[in-house]
Structure 1
Amino acid sequence: MTTPALTPAPAALRAPGLRLGATASLWLTVSLVSSFLAASSAPSPLYALYREAWGFSPLALTVIFSSYAFALLAALLVFGPLSDHLGRRAVILASLFIELLSIVLFWRAESAGWLLAARIVQGFATGIATSALSATLLDLSPSRGALFNSVAPMFGMAAGALGASALVQFAPAPMHLVFELLLAILAAQTFAALFLPDTVTRRPGVWQSLRPRIAIPVTARATLWRILPLNTASWALGGFYLSLGPTLAKLVTGTPAPLTGGALIATLVLAGAAAIGWVRLRPAPAVLTGSALALVLGLSLTLVGVHAGSGLAFFGGTLVAGLGFGAGFNGAVRSLVPLAAAHERAGLMAGFFALSYLAFSVPAIIAGLGTGLFGLHATTLAYGGLLVVMALAALVASLRAAR
């Protein structure tokens, strides 16, 4: 017996009562993606304050940071395909309520244990939301869905990091104010999401879909393995920047201002967003090749800046590496999405993001351990050197494949 293909819901099902139109639904979904990622990056500029208040180590910091990614990974493995069965709207609403709980935990945090619990709940919420929101964007606009899936997270991370940094530097009680603002924004979005239409019909198999697995369609597996080295290097770079990046920025520039760390994260992800806009109409294989080259050059310049204590080289290298980060993400998504049928999209995106967030978290924990043993300067040089080797290997493989 074959599983019926998932088809767009008929008009009567999409709009039972008051529902948003297609355009409003699209932009609300884009804003939800941005908000989830903004909430995930907002704690990064606050980690220095938490360490001063509660005295935990760099390793503890990266464990707290990476617990988010592990929880997200677990949620993706279990709940990734769920919206293919229950419908997108129900899954999105559930993830928003869990996200609100995580923000309350951050808001009330009194120790490192509270932060760990908040990050785990936040990662769980984002993992449930990720594949459902990604699939919704593709359902609402197949032509622009891949672009929004690439750009919205970048803008979200930049907004979260820069906004939180500004509040740390200029506002009173930033460890509370950051999350009070996020609560207000997410509460308003949750209310609006009540009026989202369902873009797919429900289908049986809910309980079977909860069996932990990475549901990569057979047609997409070869492509996924081919882009994995470059994707791993890109996400490992992002994990390092969002965990230890603000501390590293202060070390390299000698500037203690919190906005320095936020500016570093924003430089990486906004450069990524700009690259996505530039490459989105170019052939995906060429984009992946250019991404690998940009990562090699950008990371090399960044390491020169770290070694020489040059803020200009450090931020300049970050800018170039960010271009590679964004282009690689867009090229990867555009390479994979056409290979999946409608009923396979959520499972495919769950698998892709699961592998990506594994690369985002595990190397960051190792970097935190290395920082405690050898110092941040030496750890950064070793970590960055390994990423250069990975990106260089991906570049060589890409050039060979193009011949």
Structure 2
Amino acid sequence: MTTTKPLPVAPAASPRRRTTFVFAASSIAALLVAASALTPFYPGLEHELDITALGVSLIFAVYAIMLLAALVTAGAISDHVGRRPVISIGFSLLAVSMLMVAFVDSAPMLFAARALQGAASGLLTPALSALLLDATAADRPQRGSLLNSIMPGTGLAIGALAGGIACAFLVPGLPITFAALAVLYAVIAVMVWRVPEFTSRTPGALRSLIPRVTVPLKARRLFLISAPALMATWATGGLFFSLGPSIILERLHSDSPLLQGAIVAILPAAGAAAVLLLRRRSARSVALTGTVSLAIGTTMALVALAADTVAGYVLSVIITGIGFGASFSGVIGSLAPKAEPHTRAGLFAAIYVTSYLSFGVPTVAAGFLASISSVSFTSLAYGIAVIALALISTTARVRSRE
């Protein structure tokens, strides 16, 4: 999605390049910690702030929608003004949103905090990914792409697990956790000025803010085939990171924030592991592995929830997590080669629009359904929809041979 032209860079072994590479990779993980750290706190916040399941879903969805809005408008801005200013501003905004969560005293305040967090994340995601690729050593170009795929899942897993630990053992857990994150992000916002820029700035900053969502003609058939996979993948993530603890509480009868956080953390952790282990397979094979795993894992999850078995549910989340990581990685790997450089930004915008709408909108529907029925019925209906989407994509991909 970038349009910058690399400047002459330091040798592959340059300490500054290695330092920037490590900084960018760890910052991507740190960014995603905030996306899932709040998840184990949702059941408590429902009680303290008098929020319904629908309210939790809306609070989660506004994060996804604001992230998407920032991504499709300001996603290329770092190409024009530089990586460091965008990353510094993004982490500064993220720090403010963490302080708002730390001292939240009402549902509207939490809603505003998550909206600001989403906007900051949408600003940071492409800038950090671009910095990581900028700093990748020329003799090992695959390392940047690999870490771009692995670090988000790693951050999400750390956030959910750390949130569960904090909620279970720290008093008061919410202020301590999110004040600490605010300090971390403020430090990163300052530290980024110590890393070098590896690309030259290009004109057209204002023009880059106009959203361009297009799918190249030669990629349209495969995009349509892949769309159900994107929907199933991100709808799964949305449900886990919003209503995941409530499902565990109601169906598995555990109110332990530690267990809830740990189970939610398994999903992105398994996804990151799958991306690493399947990195030498073809994109088509990875995509099919992902959709099949999503269908099987979600089916197993519904059976485990009906049987009230924690062990069975954990196993199902591992398999679903493999699908979560492999499906998205396989779709990206399949579609990216079909776009010319001048059409790549529009294609990725279309992928992100599909993904993040699926991340947020179905979650709101699930929250509404849970509010008028039950979390148990909602998880069943949601699971059936995910299985159907995964099987549709699998069948279409097998028939297409693309």
Query: 1:324, 1:156 → 2: CA distance?
Result: 18
Alignment of 1:142-221 (within 5 A): 142-214=141-213, 221=220
Contact 1:295 1:391 in 2 (8 A): yes
TM-superposed CA distance for 1:206, in Å, is: 1.1
Q: Which amino acid aligns with 1:149?
A: N
Partner of 1:7: 5
Alignment of 1:66-105 (within 5 A): 66-105=61-100
Contact 2:88 2:190 in 1 (8 A): no
> Residues 336 and 133 (structure 1 numbering): CA distance in 2 closer, same or farther, change over 3 Å?
farther
Gaps of 5+ in 2: none
> Residues 227 and 368 (structure 1 numbering): CA distance in 2 closer, same or farther, change over 3 Å?
same
Q: Secondary structure at the match of 1:230?
A: helix
Query: 2:272, 2:339 → 1: CA distance?
Result: 25
Q: Which amino acid aligns with 2:330?
A: G
Q: Secondary structure at the match of 1:206?
A: coil
TM-superposed CA distance for 1:191, in Å, is: 2.3
Kindly indicate whether residue 11 of structure 2 is the aligned counterpart of residue 36 of structure 1. no
Query: 2:214, 2:310 → 1: CA distance?
Result: 43
Partner of 1:60: 55
Kindly tell me the number of residue pairs found equivalent between the two proteins.
395
**What is the aligned-residue identity percentage?**
35
> Residues 133 and 221 (structure 1 numbering): CA distance in 2 closer, same or farther, change over 3 Å?
farther
Partner of 2:366: 367
Q: Secondary structure at the match of 1:214?
A: coil
Query: 1:282, 1:138 → 2: CA distance?
Result: 22
Q: Secondary structure at the match of 2:271?
A: helix
Query: 1:214, 1:149 → 2: CA distance?
Result: 22
Kindly indicate whether residue 291 of structure 2 is the aligned counterpart of residue 292 of structure 1. yes
- The TM-score normalised by the length of structure 1 is 0.92
Query: 1:160, 1:284 → 2: CA distance?
Result: 28
Contact 1:20 1:197 in 2 (8 A): no
> Residues 9 and 280 (structure 1 numbering): CA distance in 2 closer, same or farther, change over 3 Å?
same
Q: Which amino acid aligns with 1:324?
A: G
Gaps of 5+ in 1: none
Contact 2:301 2:313 in 1 (8 A): yes
CA deviations 1:111-153 (Å, max 9, x no partner) are 1111001000000000011122222223333412221121111
Q: Which amino acid aligns with 1:172?
A: V
Partner of 1:306: 305
TM-superposed CA distance for 1:294, in Å, is: 0.8
TM-superposed CA distance for 1:250, in Å, is: 2.0
Alignment of 1:254-293 (within 5 A): 254-293=253-292
Moved more, 260-269 or 309-318: 309-318
Kindly indicate whether residue 243 of structure 2 is the aligned counterpart of residue 244 of structure 1. yes
Q: Which amino acid aligns with 1:371?
A: A
TM-superposed CA distance for 1:301, in Å, is: 0.4
TM-superposed CA distance for 1:308, in Å, is: 2.0
Moved more, 82-91 or 203-212: 82-91
Q: Secondary structure at the match of 2:202?
A: coil
> Residues 70 and 30 (structure 1 numbering): CA distance in 2 closer, same or farther, change over 3 Å?
same
Query: 1:92, 1:257 → 2: CA distance?
Result: 36
Contact 1:296 1:392 in 2 (8 A): yes
TM-superposed CA distance for 1:366, in Å, is: 0.2
> Residues 215 and 395 (structure 1 numbering): CA distance in 2 closer, same or farther, change over 3 Å?
closer
TM-superposed CA distance for 1:188, in Å, is: 2.3
Contact 2:94 2:182 in 1 (8 A): no
